[in-house]
Amino acid sequence: MRIISTLTLALIVATSSLFAACGTETLTSATPCVIDNDCERGQACVDGICTASGAVGDTSGSGDATQSDTATGSGADTTVEDTAIEDTTPEDSGSGADTTVEDTTPVDTTPVDTTPPEPTWTFTITSPVDRDAFRTSSAITLTGQLTGDAIDFSTFDLAIASSINGSLGIIQPDAAGAFTLPLIGLRPGRHTLSVRAVAPDGLERTASVVFGICPDDSVIDFTADLDPAQWLVRGDTSRDASGWLELTGLAPSRAGSIYYLGNTLAEGDVEINLRISTGACPAPGPCSSFAEGADGFAMNIWSVASVPELEGILDLAANGGGLGYGVSGLYGDRIVDSFHIEFDTYYNRNDIHTDPTAVPHIGITQNGDPENHLVYYESASLENNAWHDITLSIQGSRVRVMYDGTMAIDQDIPGLSFKGGFLGFSGSTGYYYNYHRIDDLQIVQSCSF
């Protein structure tokens, strides 16, 4: 037995009584102690009470639990618990940050993964070519060529697609790699046409070309009566009931003109198609009564702002050798920006002006001056009473005229800048005369991409 001091025992008894007051059965029957040796084997001295060694943890745990329960009730402890939760939040954030870092790691390896083997073959689109421009009625054919050594290209697939029309189908090239596909039904707009060539081993290449489709411009065929709101008609000009315009009629000293008010031409490139006929027989076509006729006619585009301004110019325009458009040079001092293509069948010589040739000619003039032929094309057939197809094309300062499918004029005219404006026709006769006919007018506004 251990000798315990009086003071120690008093404390132990007091402590024991205190725990007994708490009503804890375990503590009521316990043996007071100071150190472990005060207790029996298998016991330890815990807080002055001999306690079974195996129960020390349990007792402590019990106590802790009790304290914890009590503490839970207090605001301070709740805060601690919240803090603990908050502590886990940064860990989550930390995990997120770590995840982000891990995400960047595969990115570094990605370039390595995207290095596919290069096909040993190549291919090109040979038509259309970039910046080509077509009409909706144009026949457009896609052609191209695959190239590679000892490859049977007929096993390849070519997927054709347009940025506007979508898929245009899948075709196979021939064994030598050539491919062709008529492009039908392409809608107006700027197309990016792509061809994706896929080999049997899955390797592929893609090529593309960008081109434009413009809508077809309508043809005015003069089968219907002229709408006064659309057409300004002056002098001896009228629509022939057979369906064309007659500018003068077969009589001396006639003059007339007609201007299309329905659609003024825009500045810039333009193409104009029409048919013309001049001669002495009432029905267009071969004419047995061919004789010297006059004077001819012109297509004029005046860059003026209004119809009254246009009429003011027409009031001044000289007829006869002036062909209904002469307002400047030897024919006047009117300053105007205009473009003219004349079909001149009378040789003016030592007249107000002198023509550059005695042969009927197609001439390009400017600014109301019938004398200054910037370029001309001689054609004896011009006055044969037959219909002739004319295409005038202005691209920048380059002027081209097709006459019955022949390139009659292809000339760069320095300083030419087409300003657009009111388009119309004028014709005149003098001592000599002819019919002067216009039909199938088509104005093709700029189509470029």
244 binds Ca ion (CB under 5 A): yes
Dist. CA 222–CA 338, nearest whole Å: 25
- Beta 296-302 vs 49-52: how paired, if at all? unpaired
Residue nearer to Ca ion on the CB measure, 271 or 439: 439
Dist. CA 25–CA 31, nearest whole Å: 13
- Cβ of residue 399: shortest distance to Ca ion, in angstroms? 16
- Cβ of residue 283: shortest distance to Ca ion, in angstroms? 13
- Is 120 in a helix, a strand, or coil? coil
- Cβ of residue 132: shortest distance to Ca ion, in angstroms? 31
Q: Who contacts 17 (Cβ-Cβ below 8 Å, separation ≥6)?
A: none
Query: Token digits for 377?
Result: 């094309």
Half-sphere exposure of 166 (CA within 13 A, CB side): 0
Residue nearer to Ca ion on the CB measure, 179 or 222: 222
- Cβ of residue 359: shortest distance to Ca ion, in angstroms? 10
246 binds Ca ion (CB under 5 A): no
Residue nearer to Ca ion on the CB measure, 51 or 385: 385
- Cβ of residue 379: shortest distance to Ca ion, in angstroms? 12
Residue nearer to Ca ion on the CB measure, 154 or 223: 223
Residue nearer to Ca ion on the CB measure, 346 or 425: 346
Q: Which stretch binds Ca ion (CB under 5 A): 45-53, 203-211, 417-425, 434-442?
A: 434-442
User: Does residue 308 have a cis bond before it (omega within 30 degrees)?
Assistant: no
- Cβ of residue 278: shortest distance to Ca ion, in angstroms? 12
- Cβ of residue 343: shortest distance to Ca ion, in angstroms? 9
Q: Which stretch binds Ca ion (CB under 5 A): 171-179, 219-227, 266-274, 307-315?
A: 219-227
Residue nearer to Ca ion on the CB measure, 264 or 428: 428
Residue nearer to Ca ion on the CB measure, 271 or 344: 344
285 binds Ca ion (CB under 5 A): no
- Cβ of residue 293: shortest distance to Ca ion, in angstroms? 11
Please, is 428 exposed, middle or buried when counting C-beta atoms within 10 Å of its C-beta (0-12, 13-18, 19+)? buried
- Cβ of residue 263: shortest distance to Ca ion, in angstroms? 18
Q: Which residue in 179, 181, 185 sits closest to 166, CA to CA?
A: 185
DSSP-derived letter for residue 32 is: B
Amino acid at 406: T
Residue nearer to Ca ion on the CB measure, 158 or 438: 438
236 binds Ca ion (CB under 5 A): no
243 binds Ca ion (CB under 5 A): yes
Task: Figure out which of the listed residues 123, 134, 211, 222 binds Ca ion, where binding follows CB under 5 A.
Answer: 222
- Cβ of residue 416: shortest distance to Ca ion, in angstroms? 18
- Cβ of residue 220: shortest distance to Ca ion, in angstroms? 9
Footprint (CB under 5 A) of Ca ion, residues 316-355 = 321, 344, 346, 348, 355
Residue nearer to Ca ion on the CB measure, 369 or 439: 439
| Cβ neighbour number for residue 262 with a 10 Å cutoff | 11
221 binds Ca ion (CB under 5 A): yes
Q: Who contacts 166 (Cβ-Cβ below 8 Å, separation ≥6)?
A: none
Q: Which stretch binds Ca ion (CB under 5 A): 62-70, 226-234, 243-251, 332-340?
A: 243-251
134 binds Ca ion (CB under 5 A): no
Amino acid at 265: L
Handedness of CA 287, 289, 290, 296 (dihedral sign): negative
Dist. CA 196–CA 187, nearest whole Å: 21
Q: Please give the C-alpha separations between residue 306 and each of 166, 234, 281, 421, 422, in angstroms, as whole numbers.
A: 44, 16, 37, 9, 9
Q: How many residues bind Ca ion (CB under 5 A)?
A: 11
Residue 411 phi/psi, 5° resolution?
Answer: -140, 135
Dist. CA 242–CA 260, nearest whole Å: 20
Task: Figure out which of the listed residues 329, 339, 439, 444 binds Ca ion, where binding follows CB under 5 A.
Answer: 439
Residue nearer to Ca ion on the CB measure, 191 or 275: 275
Dist. CA 389–CA 404, nearest whole Å: 5
Binding mask 154-183 for Ca ion (x = CB under 5 A): ------------------------------
Residue nearer to Ca ion on the CB measure, 65 or 380: 380
Q: Could you please report the per-residue DSSP string of 306-368?
A: SHHHHHHHHHH-B-GGGTTTB-SGGG------EEEEEEE-S---SSSS--S-SS-EEEEEETT
Binding positions for Ca ion, rule: CB under 5 A: 221-222, 243-244, 321, 344, 346, 348, 355, 363, 439
